[in-house]
Amino acid sequence: MNDNSTLQRVYTVAELTRSIKRTLEGRADFNNLWVKGEIFNLTVHSSGHIYFSLRDNEAVISAVFFRHANRNLAFKLKEGMNILALGSITVYEKRGSYQINVAMVKQEGLGELQKRIEMLKQKLAAEGVFSPDRKRPIPFLPRRLGVATSPTGAAVQDIIKVALRRYPTIEIIIAPAVVQGADAPVSIARAIEELNRPEYRIDCIIAGRGGGSFEDLMPFNEEIVVRAFYNSRVPIISAVGHQIDHPLCDDAADLFAPTPSAAAELAVPVKEDLEGEVEYLAIRASNAVGSLLRELNTRVEGIRSRRIFRDPYEIVNRKEQLLGDMLNQMLSSLKDKVSSGTSRLLSIPDIRMIIKNLINTKKHSYIMALTTMEQLSPMAVLQRGYAIAMDEEGQVIRSVDDSGVDSLIRLLLSDGTLRCRVNSIERGGSDGKEKNS
Amino acid sequence: MEKKKTVKSDAEKTEKINFEKALQQLEEIAEKLEDGDLGLDESINQFEKGMRLAKFCREKLDEAERKIEILQKGADGHVRKKEVDVDDGTGEIKNEDDLQGSLL
């Protein structure tokens, strides 16, 4: 039994690992050390723990960033990001691996890839490629959907499945593309271009792929692909599976979704819902018109059932009666008028009487005057026996001096004239004897 | 086509709008009718328009005919469409041959 094993100590794996662990973890300078490197293979576990590797050109070290430590991290870790990590080296016995247990992280600057993407982003942004203003609405009801992705991946299946479930009669045109590796950018760009050809009459395009590592998704950060999204004349949805970082194509697309399935949901409406909505609205319109017609009908019936329509003669009768009433009223009012007019007329003094009286009075006066005149007339005097003496010339002789003896005079009697010759003249009163020749 | 330009039927006018607009108009009409502020004639007009829109919407919904096609590049370099059979449940393309030849 002279074998080396007796001279040298034989470790069990556990003993050795524990020894390594003690050595590494016990070294003061491996505790709370700073290390710088580029992040790759970044995984954010659902538990909140973050796993990644740090690398530079020559070496790689695993890193674990537990949830309690990364909770207050001010920025998101990104693939390709250069960081300074503060941590301690720990050994994970079960895997025989060592890693740095990160306590905190500082951003050291962007990794090469990240830097390239950032530069491209700035350049395209300056051109307006990501401008929100140019985003077009996704058609509400695409009849034909274009899909640019790998024909063999889960993405195309997810899109088809979701689209058909939602809209069983949709038409889908798939433009196969390589979505990973060096050929991917040109292939994706061509597929998008192809789907834009007018003869396909595509209403909406979904372009993308399922989730993958940062490197897997790199084609969707390439300028040619981003521009293909931007230049698509058909509204386009970016559907690149991702958890943390948006690929640049998301910003150039009209709309983006975190997975291909989600993109299909955004693009394709649920047919049954739309059919239901159309029916619902049609029924609402019908019901509204129906109730309007019923209401109008009720109103018409209400009016029709009034007595006037049930017994149309009623209106004639009533009018007749009304007419009769009115006539009566008119007549009686006319009568009233007439009688009041008459009484007014009667109340005026009888003009005929007045006139008659006037005439009588005048007549009387006339007769009186006439009588007076008759009485004053010389003829009347003559009739009483007087005579008027006149000379030859017809001059009344008032004095004996007006005549002479032998002069001819005329004596006017009431019934004629006596021609006489004056025999003598005697002075004295009128009782003197008249001398005849 | 030329002569139709002079007299445009409602159907042709409807054709100018898309499904979404038609649905929106239908909704507006339903609301207007429900408000009951319209006269009988206008109500009937609007109702008829609504029914035309509903018909248009139903037609639009049924316009597409389920078809899944894959674009393939032939030997002559021309791209052609080829209909593929797809499993509804999984969305899986059934015939493996259909997957040959990407656009690249």
In angstroms, the CA A178 to CA A420 distance is: 186
Residues of A (111-140) whose Cβ lies below 8 Å from B: 139-140
Pair of tokens at residue A147: 């899909």
Mark yes or no for CB contact A176/B33 under 8 Å. Answer: no
CA-wise closest residue to A205 among A293, A125, A268, A272: A268
Q: Are A285 and B26 in contact (CB under 8 A)?
A: yes
Q: Is A178 in the B-facing interface, judged by CB distances under 8 Å?
A: yes
The more confidently predicted of residues B24 and A355 is: B24
DSSP H/E element including A120: helix A112-127
In angstroms, the CA B44 to CA A288 distance is: 11
In angstroms, the CA A120 to CA A221 distance is: 9
DSSP percent split of chain A into helix, strand, coil, nearest 5: 50, 20, 30
Residues in A closer than 8 angstroms to B101, CB to CB, are 176
Residue A434 pLDDT grade (very low, low, confident, very high; cuts 50, 70, 90): very low
Chain A residue with CA closest to B62: the answer is A169
Residue A433 pLDDT grade (very low, low, confident, very high; cuts 50, 70, 90): very low
Task: Select from A152, A183, A194 the Cβ nearest to the Cβ of B79.
Answer: A194
Mark yes or no for CB contact A169/B90 under 8 Å. Answer: no
In angstroms, the CA B78 to CA A376 distance is: 162
DSSP letters along A333-353, please?
HHHHHHHHHHHHHHHS--HHH
Mark yes or no for CB contact B67/A171 under 8 Å. Answer: yes
Residue A351 pLDDT grade (very low, low, confident, very high; cuts 50, 70, 90): low
Residues of A (278-297) whose Cβ lies below 8 Å from B: 278-279, 281-282, 284-286, 288-289, 291-293, 296
Residues in B closer than 8 angstroms to A210, CB to CB, are none
Per-residue pLDDT at A435: 44
In angstroms, the CA B79 to CA A399 distance is: 177
Encode pLDDT of B20-76 as tens digits.
889 999 999 999 888 878 888 888 899 999 999 999 999 888 888 888 888 887 777
In angstroms, the CA A416 to CA A381 distance is: 14
Q: For residues A24-28, give the mean pLDDT.
A: 89
Mark yes or no for CB contact B51/A282 under 8 Å. Answer: yes
For A220, other C-beta atoms within 10 Å of its C-beta total 26
Residue with the two structure tokens 């003094």: A349
Residues in B closer than 8 angstroms to A141, CB to CB, are 18-20, 60-61
Residue B4 pLDDT grade (very low, low, confident, very high; cuts 50, 70, 90): very low
- Decide if pLDDT at B82 tops 90: no
Per-residue pLDDT at A205: 97
CA A57 to chain B, closest CA, distance in angstroms equals 33
Q: Are A82 and A110 in contact (CB under 8 A)?
A: yes
Mark yes or no for CB contact A157/B43 under 8 Å. Answer: no
In angstroms, the CA A82 to CA A102 distance is: 15
Chain B interface test: which of A186, A280, A292 (most B C-beta within 10 Å)? A292
Q: For residues A410-436, give the mean pLDDT.
A: 73
Q: In A69-137, which ranges are E strands?
A: 82-92, 97-109
Task: Select from B44, B64, B86 the Cβ nearest to the Cβ of A144.
Answer: B64
Chain B residue with CA closest to A184: the answer is B104
CA A262 to chain B, closest CA, distance in angstroms equals 15
* CB-side neighbour CA atoms (13 Å) of A71: 4
Percent of chain A at pLDDT exceeding 70: 90
Pairing of strands A171-176, B67-73: parallel
Task: Select from A157, A170, A282 the Cβ nearest to the Cβ of B50.
Answer: A282
Residues A331-341 as b/e (b if ≥16 CB within 10 A, e otherwise) read eeeeeeeeeee
Task: Select from B18, B44, B102 the Cβ nearest to the Cβ of A187.
Answer: B102
Q: For residues A136-150, give the mean pLDDT.
A: 92
Per-residue pLDDT at A397: 85
CA A311 remoteness from chain centre:
48
CA A282 to chain B, closest CA, distance in angstroms equals 6
- Decide if pLDDT at A45 tops 70: yes
- What's the ipTM? 0.77
Q: Are A224 and A212 in contact (CB under 8 A)?
A: no
**pLDDT, chain A, mean:** 85
Per-residue pLDDT at A173: 94
Paired residues of B81 in beta bridges: B71
Chain A residue with CA closest to B93: the answer is A157
Per-residue pLDDT at A345: 65
- Decide if pLDDT at A17 tops 90: yes
Residues in A closer than 8 angstroms to B67, CB to CB, are 171-172
Mark yes or no for CB contact A289/B91 under 8 Å. Answer: no
Per-residue pLDDT at A9: 83
Q: Are A212 and A180 in contact (CB under 8 A)?
A: yes
Question: For the CA atoms of A80, A82, A86, A88, what is the dihedral angle to 10 degrees?
Answer: 50
CA-wise closest residue to A197 among A231, A233, A166: A233
Could you tell me which residues come within 8 angstroms of residue B93 by beta carbon, excluding any fewer than 6 positions away? A151, A156, A157, A160, B68, B70, B84, B85, B86, B99
CA B26 remoteness from chain centre:
16
CA-wise closest residue to A206 among A246, A134, A150, A123: A150
Q: How big is the CA angle at A302 (ends A298 and A307), to the nearest 5 degrees?
A: 160
Residue A411, exposed/middle/buried by CB under 10 A (0-12, 13-18, 19+)?
Answer: middle
| Packing angle, helices B40-61 and A271-304, rounded to 10 | 160
Encode pLDDT of A357-381 as tens digits.
777 777 777 777 767 666 666 666 6
Q: Are A86 and A101 in contact (CB under 8 A)?
A: no
Pair of tokens at residue A341: 């007019």
Encode pLDDT of A370-420 as tens digits.
676 666 666 666 777 778 888 888 788 888 888 888 888 888 887 888 888
Three-class DSSP labels, B15-30: HCCCHHHHHHHHHHHH
